[in-house]
Amino acid sequence: MIQQASTVDVLVIGGGIAGLQAAIDLGNLGLRVAVVERQPSIGGKMIGLSKVFPTLDCCSCICTPRMAEAEHHANITTLTYAEVQRVQREGSGFLVDVLKKPRYVNEETCTGCRLCEYACDVELPHEFEGGFGARKAVYVPFGNAVPQVAVLDMDNCLLCGRCEKACPVGAIDYLQQPQTVQMRAGAIIVATGYEMLPADFKQHYGSGPLRNVLTALQAERLLAPHGPYGRVLRPSDGKVPESIAYVQCAGSRDLSKGVASCSRVCCMYAIKQAMLLAGALPLADVTIYHMDIRAFGKGFEQFYQNAKAMGIQFVKAKVARIDEDDEENPVVRIEVLEEDGRVEERRHDMVVLALGLVPGWDPREAGLAAPAEDGFLRCAPSAFAPTQTWEEGVFVAGAAAGPKDIPDAVVEAGAAAAEAAAYLRARRSSPTPPAAAVPVPQPALAAGV
Ligand SMILES: Cc1cc2nc3c(=O)[nH]c(=O)nc-3n(C[C@H](O)[C@H](O)[C@H](O)COP(=O)(O)OP(=O)(O)OC[C@H]3O[C@@H](n4cnc5c(N)ncnc54)[C@H](O)[C@@H]3O)c2cc1C
């Protein structure tokens, strides 16, 4: 079913911190904005993080107000559990098809009371908790999800009817269908963020099959104040880990396979996690195996020095492979780079992989121009329009343009909002916008060559 097209000034694709910040800035300028987010809640990766480097502020405490502000802003409409399917040029703007996936729960009537969740008997690994802990087949995605609306996982639903009976407002709708919503927008901001390389990407690192080898995003959940276990325990047996190791550049700065470039945030989040572990488990040994530490931002070097002073061990070494012993302790085989290049095996209780970061979305899926060779969106090379892509009227914000930390993503979001607003103003005051503001796509670059 296709709904009648609604019109907004700017469509933001992606409801992570960058997309939300861009939407709020535009909304505050009086422009109408729609945010399309493919997950059932806005918030992106940030809402799942424990604390932020280098201040160690609680992530959820600073992200949740942003999510609420966007959701309740008079000029912003959020569409969750929705994906942009097709973007077409129409006059001076865009006609966009957005697929709204069925939640099997009526968004208008659901109050987020969770009675459906309590009634459901199905238990599945909780994605938001990195696969640790359990969720039901019908569930509110996480405690501070926005909107507070349940979603029913039809692939795992037994259709037993218990949730339907438990719902006091009759919100369960097993027959809900996907809907295509059409939107007209004057400009687009792509804020589709990043994903981590899959956990089993480095097979010789044992991630996936080895239960005590975690991804860094899983480690964020173990360290989060409202994490799955309420404290740091290793997944295989619930033991409090006494020795934890970080493996840096697991798939990034890897010219043969994986991501050739530096993922920019891994050194700092590993140091952050190591400090949080040292605080939570004062007797534990924490080691970071790295090629070098890139502490380039404001306050980062001091943060690194503080970690060293806390007793976190930094070992310049290449990790060749990770196996496990009979008690599921990961055994790390390293080549020490600092000294004589000797090869050693070291046993830890738990290992965390800083896997490389890759783009969250390929814009070609919606008919937009090809990204750069690394898959992240390509910006036009103008110092005065840093968020303008090679496509007229399309801007980029946050990690969609390449891995970056939250402050940089927020600054870029503000810049994208300002550039999109200026673009719309120029468009409206003159049918042909100034060439400097809107670069003409170069065919070779647009084709990703
Ligand atoms: C383990 C780890 C720890 C980190 N710790 C810190 C830290 O302490 N401090 C710090 O500053 N930074 C940290 N970062 C970096 C931080 O996560 C990013 O800076 C931030 O999340 C970037 O925000 P974003 O909105 O650009 O992207 P994202 O957070 O990835 O959000 C993108 C959003 O777009 C949505 N989306 C994607 N494709 C589509 C589509 N086609 N349609 C609709 N929606 C779509 C996604 O679902 C997501 O919600 C950490 C990163 C990692 C991996």
pLDDT in tens, 26-43: 999 999 999 999 999 999
Given a cut of 70, whether residue 137 has pLDDT beyond it is yes
pTM here is: 0.94
Mutate to test the pocket of ligand 1, among 12, 42, 49, 57 (most ligand atoms within 8 A of CB): 49
Gap from CA of 352 to ligand 1 centroid (Å): 19
All structural domains of the chain with their residue ranges: 2-101+178-193+360-446, 198-356
- Strands 33-36 and 76-79 turn out to be parallel
What integer pLDDT is reported at residue 449 of this predicted model? 28
Query: Does 382 or 299 have the greater pLDDT score?
Result: 299
What SS3 class is residue 96? strand
Could you tell me which residues are beta bridge partners of residue 317?
Answer: 336
Of ligand 1's listed atoms, the one at least distance from the Cα of 357 is 53
Confidence class for position 340, pLDDT limits 50, 70, 90: confident
How far is Cα 387 from Cα 284, in angstroms, rounded to an integer? 44
Q: Which residue matches tokens 């979001």? A: 413
Domain 198-356: which topology?
FAD/NAD(P)-binding domain (3.50.50)
Contact, 136 vs 90, CB < 8 A?
Answer: no
Distance CA 112, CA 100 (A): 19
CA of 14 to the centre of ligand 1 (A): 9
Asked if residue 448 has pLDDT above 60, the reply is no
β-pairing, 138-139 vs 330-336, is unpaired
pLDDT > 60? residue 439: no
CA-closest candidate to residue 420, choices 186, 193, 191:
186
Distance CA 398, CA 40 (A): 20
Calpha distance 15→69 (Å, rounded): 12
Across residues 4-19, what is the average pLDDT? 93
Task: Please state the atom number of ligand 1 nearest to the C-alpha of residue 366.
Answer: 41
Instruction: Give phi and psi for 118, each to the nearest 5.
Output: -65, -30
Burial 200-219 (b: 16+ CB within 10 A, else e): ebbeebbbeebebbbbbbbb
Q: Whose CA is nearest to atom 27 of ligand 1?
A: 193
**Pocket residues: Cβ below 6 A from ligand 1:** 13-19, 36-39, 44-46, 49, 52-53, 83-84, 191-194, 196, 216-217, 220, 265, 269, 272, 360-361, 398-400, 404-407, 409
The segment with the largest mean pLDDT, out of 132-146, 189-203, 420-434, is: 132-146
- For residue range 46-94, what is the model confidence (pLDDT) as tens digits? 999 999 999 999 999 999 999 999 999 999 999 999 999 999 999 989 9
Q: What single string gives the DSSP state of each residue in 234-272? A: -TTT-PPPSEEEEEEEESBS-SSSSBSS--SSHHHHHHH
Please give the distance, rounded to the nearest whole angstrom, from the Cα atom of residue 146 to the centre of ligand 1.
16
- Residue that the structure tokens 């569409």 belong to: 79
* CATH among 3.50.50.60, 3.40.50.1370, 1.20.1600.10, 3.30.200.20 for 2-101+178-193+360-446: 3.50.50.60
Mean pLDDT across the stretch 121-127? 97
Instruction: State the average pLDDT for the chain.
Output: 92
Report the alpha-carbon distance of residue 197 to residue 239 in Å, rounded.
27
Alpha-carbon gap, residue 254 to 28, rounded angstroms: 42
Q: How far apart are CA 145 and CA 44, in angstroms?
A: 11
Q: Which of the four pLDDT bands, split at 50, 70 and 90, describes residue 447?
A: very low
Per CATH, 2-101+178-193+360-446 and 198-356 having the same topology is answered yes
Q: Is 18 in contact with 413 (CB distance < 8 Å)?
A: yes
Q: Measured over all CA atoms, what is the biggest interatomic distance in the chain, rounded to whole angstroms?
A: 72
pLDDT band, residue 417 (cuts 50/70/90)? very high
Tokens for 213?
């080898």
pLDDT score, position 132: 94
Distance 231 CA to ligand 1 centre (A): 24
pLDDT score of 205? 85
